[in-house]
């Protein structure tokens, strides 16, 4: 085992003893561990190990999401090394907690915005507006806390910046995108890729419109994510009008206001539409 892999293994074991995913605030107890790891010597060793693996085997495939090396995936947390090289078009809310440490000689510069009063991550509201809070400069020897329940962050990227990241799994449903000009939200995306995949799957099953798809769509109509629930209900409408009406009536009492409103509109249209003979 290389020295960098040994350090990662020890670090992950220590994180597991401190971080309890069902108690998010315990994540901050990992900061002293992370500070010790956020050293240029450690990052250099990681990169050398990756290059040696490629030299030894040109077909080697590491755990490399775009512009990132995934160093460890644990129960409810992940350690990675990322390159920040392009400013984002929007200001993104962060659906996870994070600790970020710039590596190298340059600081990490970020504008911090306070999330608006009345912000409910699961209920997209374009009338809300971010409030400018502070400009932060995080030196290479320092660590930035991503306090996602209160703030959104806009990283100011001049030159490519290497950043060591420790993050929790997403605990919020959506990632909101705010306009940099107006500070109002523009759109919201699923924070968890699996929810997006389920929505797309539900949509495709509806397009295929085969009766064998009705049972899995009925299951998805009870999913915890409201976007998945609604996609399933819409696709059920392509397979069975009676089942869709039944689901829409249940959705009138859905816990999510957007689902309740959409269900009412759909039922109103169904009542006004002429019946086929």
CA 205, CA 210: separation in Å to the nearest integer?
7
pLDDT, one tens digit per residue, over 248-265 is: 999 999 999 999 999 999
Q: Are 202 and 220 in contact (CB under 8 A)?
A: yes
**Long-range contacts of the stretch 148-151 (C-beta < 8 A, 24+):** 148/93, 148/94, 148/95, 148/96, 148/97, 148/98, 148/172, 149/115, 150/114, 150/115, 151/112, 151/113, 151/114, 151/115
Whole-prediction pTM: 0.85
Mean pLDDT for the chain overall: 91
CA 112, 117, 120, 121: dihedral to nearest 10 degrees?
-10
Q: Determine the pLDDT at residue 61.
A: 64
Res 276 pLDDT > 70:
no
In CATH terms, the fold of domain 3-191 is: Jelly Rolls (2.60.120)
CA 125, CA 129: separation in Å to the nearest integer?
9
Q: Which of 35-39, 43-47, 221-225 has the lowest mean pLDDT?
A: 43-47
**Domain 194-272 belongs in CATH node 1.25.10.10:** yes
Q: Which residue has the higher pLDDT, 5 or 171?
A: 171
Q: Quick one: what percent of the chain has pLDDT higher than 90?
A: 77
Q: Determine the pLDDT at residue 63.
A: 67
Domain ranges of the chain: 3-191, 194-272
Mean pLDDT of 111-131: 96
Q: Determine the pLDDT at residue 274.
A: 64
């Amino acid at each position: 085992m290389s020295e960098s892999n040994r350090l990662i293994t020890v670090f992950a074991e220590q994180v597991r003893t401190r971080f309890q995913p069902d108690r998010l605030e315990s994540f901050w107890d990992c900061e002293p561990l992370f500070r010790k790891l956020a050293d240029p010597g450690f990052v250099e060793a990681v990169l050398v190990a990756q290059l040696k693996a490629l030299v030894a085997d040109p077909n080697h495939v590491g755990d490399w999401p775009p512009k990132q090396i995934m160093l460890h995936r644990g129960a409810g947390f992940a350690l990675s090394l990322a390159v920040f090289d392009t400013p984002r078009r929007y200001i993104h809310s962060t659906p996870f907690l994070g600790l970020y440490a710039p590596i190298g000689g340059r600081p990490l510069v970020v504008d911090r915005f306070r999330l608006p009063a009345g912000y409910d991550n699961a209920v997209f509201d374009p009338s809300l507006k971010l409030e400018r809070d502070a400009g932060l400069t995080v030196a290479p020897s320092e660590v930035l806390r991503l306090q996602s329940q209160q703030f959104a962050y806009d990283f100011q990227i001049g030159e490519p910046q290497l950043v060591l990241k420790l993050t929790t799994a997403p605990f919020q449903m959506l990632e909101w995108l705010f306009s940099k000009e107006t500070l109002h939200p523009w759109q919201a995306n699923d924070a968890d890729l699996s929810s997006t995949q389920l929505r797309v799957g539900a949509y495709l099953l509806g397009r295929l419109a085969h009766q064998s798809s009705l049972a899995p769509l009925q299951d998805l109509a009870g999913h915890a994510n409201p976007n998945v629930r609604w996609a399933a209900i819409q696709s059920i409408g392509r397979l069975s009008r009676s089942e869709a009406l039944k689901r829409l009536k249940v959705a009138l009492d859905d816990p999510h206001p957007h689902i309740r409103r959409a269900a009412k509109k759909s039922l109103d249209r169904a009542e006004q539409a002429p019946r086929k003979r």
